[in-house]
Structure 1
Amino acid sequence: MNINWTSGNALELLENGEAFFPAAFEAIRKAERSVVLETFIIFEDKVGRELQQAVIDAARRGVRVEITVDGYGSADLSAGFIEAMTAAGVVFHMFDPQPRRLGMRTNLFRRMHRKIIVVDGVLAFIGGINFSADHLADFGPTAKQDYAMAIRGPLVDDIARFEAEALAPVRQPRLSWLRFRRKRGSGAQQAPGDSAAALVLRDNDAHTSDIEQHYRIGIRAARHDITIANAYFFPGYRFLRDLRHAAKRGVRVRLILQGEPDMPAARFVATMLYDYLLSAGVQIYEYCERPLHGKVATVDGTWSTVGSSNLDPLSLALNLEANVVVHDKKFTAELQQRLEALIEDHCQLMERQTRPRRKIQRVLVGVFVFHFLRRFPSWAGWLPARKPQLTSAPMPAEGLSAAKEHSDEACEGKP
């Protein structure tokens, strides 16, 4: 669970697609050498098409562009949409693509759920926002509420190194962005801010519970306040126990959960935990404006996290996830302020006396859920565990030639 804390970072909180998409697209349009992008979902809507055009333009002007999407989340991308990018020299990878069986997607487990962008090795983005129009308010009542962050400083070097390692299996031997960054990158030399931050990962190898453990460290260290906003809340027994213990020792513990869920089943299972948490003094707020998709938290005004990891069995025990953990009063205060606004304007407090009347069926389901949470981490090891593969889309001859030329320049250290 060891992570590399870096200081001297400049962090910017980006709320919803209205803030995230313009910042990400501007960075891609200004890229001079490289763009690495990982995301769970790209849809062929107005956001996906704008991303497509931005990376095509970047590749055509000589920027090395690599995109990785998940084979489950982005299974419906058309061949034409992908080929338009690869023809321009974009290198396109899909994580664990699997055929449909009886019209159903079969790659349900161990998804690549990260959302990361690294531009020129000096600017990175990380969070929970996919490239889809449902992260914009004009999508309508089902538009998602979510968060991301832009990062400059030494932490970008760690994120870029991680991306190079993640893509190493599908790169030609001489296409080493890690060598390129050590030669030309300046992220490790710059200190554009004063925030301490670290990249925390969850995978199915060496980091199986790192994100959950860092949440629990923050919860156990809390003295005054814990605020967690999470879309899919179904954490493990130890996590729930830590929340109860914090509330019982006088910490104000507030959870912001879905009141208007995009997946009704997610809210139903979360409500199975309400009795257990409310009885210890945990405050639960349901966000009722639109679907909550965020994965953020703050503790005591100094600790915070933003990333892709939900607090449910998929994210905590199966998916590939990435969060940034922050020790910084200014960034944490801004995130806290945004969450306070949600609570004040758009949330409903779940009072014990207003809960649905306890019926025997609900009690039985609650007992099942409780014991399921206690045992799920060990059960997860029984689920399909073959090593998922990255598959690269074939490039037309002209795109392959352009990509080789761009990578040759990178390896030789040319501008």
Structure 2
Amino acid sequence: MVYALIIIALLLILLGLVWLDFRLGRRSLIINEEPIEPLVRESRMQLLTTGDHFVECLMQDLFHAEKHIHMLFYIFRDDHIGQKIIDLLELKAKQGVKVRLMVDMFGCKISFRNKRKLKKAGVKLHLTPPLSFPYFFFKLNQRNHRKIVICDSKVAYFGGYNIGDEYLGRDPKFGRWRDLHIRMQGNGVQDLQKSFLNDWEDVCHKSFEDASFYPALQPGTQKLIMFPTNGLFLEEQQLKHIEAVKHSLTIATAYFIPSERMMKALIQATKRGVQIKIILPKKSDHPLVREAAFPYFDSLLRSGVQIYQYYRGFFHTKAILFDHDAAYLGTANFDKRSFFINLEQNSYIYDKDFIKLIAAEIDYDISISHQLTMEEYQKRSLYFRLKEKIASAVSDFL
């Protein structure tokens, strides 16, 4: 009995220390992080709506790279499609192209054999974000959720796709994978280059002052702003856009766990007469994230918000339409982890023709999704409601 009490006491002390580490780490981030001041860029963008199209375009640009390839992904698997990209990176490195690859430490599914092969070819591979003291547990909980590729500082990619067979719809567990990604040319490439190199410097503790990484680029005609976030300022940016909406707001997200301020903003928007639609997956790829969303649905449904559940595969899109005047597209979900913890890559697009392309994809997905009704919501089982309670207790970390 005494030993059991000692073990319980030690566990409570450990949990307390983890909690304190997390809170102090968050406080340190708030104190030290500089406010974002994104520039309006003019670029040429191509919307990629399937994993096959994304990989096809990506491999073509990787193949034609002559100077450098910078690649950062949250998840990189060396399955069938991942192995093809690994082999291509190895080839380019042997041809003299500087290849720098970063993968999140928990999302890196590259075998030791492939890591050794890449290193032998000259590819620089690092895991991110780096761990250090103090605030070890806070940093351990941070995920580098960005997905960025830059080839020769001329063409770049960002969006929702990682590297793996499931993103091409080849995993029967998930089925058809719905996501959006952007291929970009023009001066917006410089912002993605800067985001990548900042992360690289954090890992390598080496500064890159090479001006060749930022050549003068021919601007396009599509206006947007791009910025990375490290757990700060994204909530403020989203709130600013939501509060300016007058007619319609459409949120497409894989995970819906909004902050208190976000929920208040959504409810206030309905009172202004804004029509709000939310589309999210019916099935989940992580434990409890689906259940964590349901406690928010009651007040949203009562306020007239339309909630759609995509069931014809897995819905991974991260986009928001604001009156069709602006659109968010990036790596962040509509959840507290994206707002307050993760490293994300974000953009707001102001080109109306491009926004129409995004809207057409989301509208189609809504048209083939199931709309959740209040009657259905109230018929949730006791077991499901119990999982909601558990999910709510840990929702900050899901």
Give the TM-score taking structure 2 as reference length.
0.82
CA contact (8 A) 1:231 1:258 kept: yes
Which of residues 251, 273, 291 is equivalent to 2:296? 273
Aligned equivalents of 2:203, 2:141: Cα separation in 1: 22
Higher relative contact order (CA 8 A, sep 6+): 1
Q: Deviations over 1:11-39 (max 9, x none)?
A: 11111312211111111111111110000
Shift of 1:120: 0.7
CA contact (8 A) 1:40 1:69 kept: yes
Aligned equivalents of 2:105, 2:367: Cα separation in 1: 39
Does 1:201 find its partner at 2:224? no
CA gap of 1:220–1:356, structure 2 versus 1, over 3 A, is: same
Which of residues 93, 99, 102 is equivalent to 1:65? 99
Does 1:110 find its partner at 2:142? yes
SS at match of 1:87: helix
CA gap of 1:133–1:97, structure 2 versus 1, over 3 A, is: farther
SS at match of 2:256: coil
Q: Indicate the residue corresponding to 2:373 in structure 1.
A: 351
Question: Which runs of 5 or more structure 2 residues have no equivalent in the other structure?
Answer: 1-34, 132-137
Q: Deviations over 1:134-188 (max 9, x none)?
A: 0112433513321111111111112212222222245586x83642224xx232x
Q: Deviations over 1:30-70 (max 9, x none)?
A: 11111100001111111110110121121121111100011
Aligned equivalents of 1:6, 1:331: Cα separation in 2: 16
* Aligned AA (1:45): D
CA gap of 1:57–1:186, structure 2 versus 1, over 3 A, is: farther
Q: Indicate the residue corresponding to 2:128 in structure 1.
A: 95
Q: Indicate the residue corresponding to 1:258 in structure 2.
A: 281
Listed as ranges, the matches of 1:92-241 within 5 Å are: 92-96=125-129, 109-140=141-172, 142-143=174-175, 144-169=177-202, 176=208, 178-182=210-214, 185-187=215-217, 190-191=218-219, 193-203=220-230, 208-241=231-264
Aligned equivalents of 2:392, 2:244: Cα separation in 1: 25
SS at match of 1:336: helix
The count of corresponding residues between Structure 1 and Structure 2 is 357
Shift of 1:107: 8.0
Does 1:41 find its partner at 2:75? yes
Shift of 1:108: 5.5
Aligned equivalents of 1:23, 1:365: Cα separation in 2: 41
CA gap of 1:73–1:138, structure 2 versus 1, over 3 A, is: closer
Question: Which runs of 5 or more structure 1 residues have no equivalent in the other structure?
Answer: 99-105, 381-415
Shift of 1:360: 8.3
CA RMSD between the two structures: 2.7
Q: Indicate the residue corresponding to 1:409 in structure 2.
A: none
Shift of 1:372: 7.9
Does 1:338 find its partner at 2:361? yes
SS at match of 2:303: coil
* Aligned AA (1:12): Q
For structure 1, which segment, 353-362 or 115-124, has the greater mean C-alpha deviation from structure 2 after superposition? 353-362
* Aligned AA (2:233): D
Aligned equivalents of 1:186, 1:323: Cα separation in 2: 22
Aligned equivalents of 1:178, 1:226: Cα separation in 2: 42
SS at match of 2:357: helix
CA gap of 1:277–1:169, structure 2 versus 1, over 3 A, is: closer
